[in-house]
């Protein structure tokens, strides 16, 4: 199972940590860890095969290839099939020898701590194939998998290899994690802001948006955004914000158009999120503007270029939290303890009157508004 996701995960963690030149202290710590291996393995110029093979130059070489050592069929085959002892695979193996490669004969339970794995690899890495001290260049050579990360790190800013100074400058402490690649960031970073930051290239018309909407949105949100059943209403409601039953929609309530683009792109259609292309989302956003009477021309085309020129009508009606200034909070006096109100208490409203308690199966819609 030397490709099990678990071992790869752990490997990735360990590999990135040791991309940089192994620190002297890691090597020293690794030497201590190696005490657990000594019963079976030797390193150094005079090393011989014992219960286990010589481990000189092990980091980076193919598995099962020490002359004169009798490997198990499993190990010999894995080596022939291309198993390479890069840091990733080594750490997977040392953590869980049995799980990593079924049928191999190393009777060792595995190292429990990630630090031990990292350190013992650093120690092994300090010996070249002849058991002589490895040159620093060799030591800092990144394994195949990590090389990609280092390259992209260069493109994205200072690489982790230059830790020393960067580290202190930015308060970096542990050197954990690996650099995110530009491609990875692009895959997840779809968010859009009111100032247009994050908008992708693309465009779409109201007319095209209507086609997509009818096919993929109308079944829940209704042909005109009026909603079927309790699915959210997307259009209408203008002028109801002070009414007893406000209807909060894109047209009546939402402050920013960027929110529509961002949200539809990340979460809709419900049940099949992230299935719309950028152009589809531009078209749907244009159509939602149309359904809300904010544009009235079916040939209107929304694009990255004209996006921020469109404002939603309710933008100015939002203000920042000022609850602490409300009279009952601003007044920090001791609350009343006795005779605080005149007369005996009189019930002004019963929950039972509304009878919406779930256990009574009240199906009629609540009069108190939804949960969100």
Partner 1 sequence: MTTNAGASRRAILKGGLIGAAALAGGATASRAGASESLITEIQDWNRYPGDGVDARPYGKPSEFEAHVVRKNVPWLTSDAISSVNFTPLHELDGIITPSGLCFERHHAGIAEIEPANHRLMIHGLVERPLVFTMADLKRFPRENKVYFLECAANTGMEWRGAQLNGCQFTHGMIHCLMYTGVRLKHLLDEAGVKTEGKWLLAEGADASGMTRSIPLDKALDDCMVAFGMNGEALRPEQGYPIRLVVPGWEGNMWVKWLRRLEIGDQPWQHREETSKYTDLMANGKARRFTFEMDVKSVITNPSPQAPILHGRGPLVLSGLAWSGKGRISRVDVSMDGGRNWTTARLDGPSLPKALHRFYHEFDWDGSDLFLQSRAIDEHGFVQPTKDQLRSVRGANSIYHNNGIQTWHVNSDGVIENVEVS
State how far the Cα of 308 lies from the Cα of 192, in Å rounded to an integer: 11
**194, 196, 200, 313: which one contacts partner 1 (CB under 8 A)?**
194
Residue 203: strand pairing partners? 303
Q: Is 258 in the site for partner 1 (CB under 8 A)?
A: yes
Select the span of 79-87, 132-140, 156-164, 295-303 touching partner 1 (CB under 8 A): 156-164
Q: Is 110 in the site for partner 1 (CB under 8 A)?
A: no
Residue with smaller CB distance to ligand HEC, 164 or 271: 271
Q: Is 264 in the site for ligand HEC (CB under 6 A)?
A: yes
Give, as ranges, the residues between 24 and 43 that touch ligand HEC (CB under 6 A): 36-37, 39-41
Q: In a 10 Å sphere around its CB, with 0-12 CB exposed, 13-18 middle and 19+ buried, how is residue 134 labelled?
A: buried
Q: Is 95 in the site for ligand HEC (CB under 6 A)?
A: no
Q: Is 114 in the site for partner 1 (CB under 8 A)?
A: yes
48 binds, among partner 1, ligand HEC, none (CB under 5 to 8 A by kind): none
Token match 């490669």: residue?
101
Select the span of 57-65, 69-77, 130-138, 360-368 touching partner 1 (CB under 8 A): 360-368
Give, as ranges, the residues between 310 and 349 that touch partner 1 (CB under 8 A): 317-323, 326-329, 332, 335-341, 343-349
Residue with smaller CB distance to ligand HEC, 6 or 113: 113
Residue 301: strand pairing partners? 205
Residues 6+ apart with CB under 8 A from 83: 2, 62, 63, 64, 89, 101
Q: Is 263 in the site for partner 1 (CB under 8 A)?
A: yes
Q: In a 10 Å sphere around its CB, with 0-12 CB exposed, 13-18 middle and 19+ buried, how is residue 41 labelled?
A: buried
Residues 6+ apart with CB under 8 A from 319: none
State how far the Cα of 211 lies from the Cα of 276, in Å rounded to an integer: 13
CB atoms within 10 A of CB 362: 12
Q: Is 234 in the site for ligand HEC (CB under 6 A)?
A: yes
Q: How far is the CB of 231 from ligand HEC (least distance, A)?
A: 5
State how far the Cα of 310 lies from the Cα of 265, in Å rounded to an integer: 18
**14, 43, 75, 153: which one contacts ligand HEC (CB under 6 A)?**
75
Residue with smaller CB distance to partner 1, 48 or 274: 274
**45, 130, 154, 195: which one contacts partner 1 (CB under 8 A)?**
195
Residue with smaller CB distance to ligand HEC, 63 or 149: 63
Q: Is 248 in the site for partner 1 (CB under 8 A)?
A: yes
At residue 198, the 3 state secondary structure works out as coil
Rg (CA), the chain: 33
Task: Give CB contacts under 8 A, 24+ apart, made by 331-336.
Answer: none
Select the span of 17-25, 106-114, 236-244, 307-315 touching ligand HEC (CB under 6 A): 106-114
- How does DSSP assign 244-293, residue by residue? SS----TTTT-S-HHHHHHHHHHH-STTSTT-S-HHHHHHHHHHHHHHTT
At residue 171, the 3 state secondary structure works out as coil
Residue with smaller CB distance to partner 1, 22 or 42: 22
**71, 261, 290, 300: which one contacts ligand HEC (CB under 6 A)?**
71
Inter-residue contact 209 to 290 (CB < 8 Å):
yes
State how far the Cα of 178 lies from the Cα of 183, in Å rounded to an integer: 14
208 binds, among ligand HEC, partner 1, none (CB under 5 to 8 A by kind): none
Under the rule (CB under 6 A), what is the footprint of ligand HEC?
36-37, 39-41, 51-53, 55, 58, 63-64, 66, 71-72, 74-75, 85, 90, 94, 104-108, 111, 120, 216-217, 219-221, 231-232, 234, 260, 263-264, 268-271, 284
């Amino acid at each position: 199972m030397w490709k099990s996701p678990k071992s790869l995960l752990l490997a990735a963690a360990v590999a990135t940590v040791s991309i940089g030149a192994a620190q002297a202290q890691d090597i020293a710590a690794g030497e201590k860890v190696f005490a657990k291996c000594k019963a079976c393995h030797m390193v150094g110029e005079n090393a011989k095969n014992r219960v286990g093979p010589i481990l000189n130059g092990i980091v980076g070489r193919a598995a099962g290839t020490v002359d004169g050592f009798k490997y198990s069929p499993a190990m010999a085959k894995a080596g022939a099939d291309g198993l390479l002892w890069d840091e990733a695979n080594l750490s997977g193996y040392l953590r869980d020898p049995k799980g990593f490669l079924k049928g191999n004969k190393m009777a060792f339970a595995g190292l429990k701590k990630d630090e031990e794995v990292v350190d013992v690899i650093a120690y092994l890495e300090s010996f070249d194939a002849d058991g002589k001290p490895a040159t620093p260049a060799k030591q800092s050579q990144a394994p195949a998998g990590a090389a990609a990360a280092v390259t992209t790190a260069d493109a994205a800013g200072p690489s982790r290899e230059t830790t020393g100074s960067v580290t202190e400058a930015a308060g970096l402490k542990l050197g954990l994690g690996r650099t995110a690649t530009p491609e990875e960031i692009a895959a997840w970073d779809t968010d859009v802001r009111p100032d247009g930051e994050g908008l992708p290239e693309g465009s779409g018309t109201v007319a095209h948006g209507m086609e997509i909407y009818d096919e993929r949105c109308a079944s829940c949100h209704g042909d005109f955004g009026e909603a079927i059943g309790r699915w959210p209403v997307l259009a209408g409601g203008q002028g109801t914000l002070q009414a007893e039953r406000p209807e909060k929609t894109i047209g009546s309530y939402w402050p920013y158009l960027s929110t529509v683009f961002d949200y539809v792109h990340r979460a809709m259609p419900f049940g099949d999120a992230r299935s719309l292309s950028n152009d589809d989302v531009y078209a749907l956003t244009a159509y939602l503007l149309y359904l809300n009477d904010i544009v009235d021309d079916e040939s209107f085309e929304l694009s990255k270029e004209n996006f921020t020129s469109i404002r939603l009508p309710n933008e100015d009606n939002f203000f920042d939290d000022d609850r602490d200034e409300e009279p009952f909070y601003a007044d920090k006096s001791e609350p009343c303890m006795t005779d605080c109100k005149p007369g005996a208490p009189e019930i002004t409203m019963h929950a039972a009157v509304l009878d919406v308690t779930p256990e009574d199966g009240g199906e009629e819609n609540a009069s108190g508004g939804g949960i969100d």
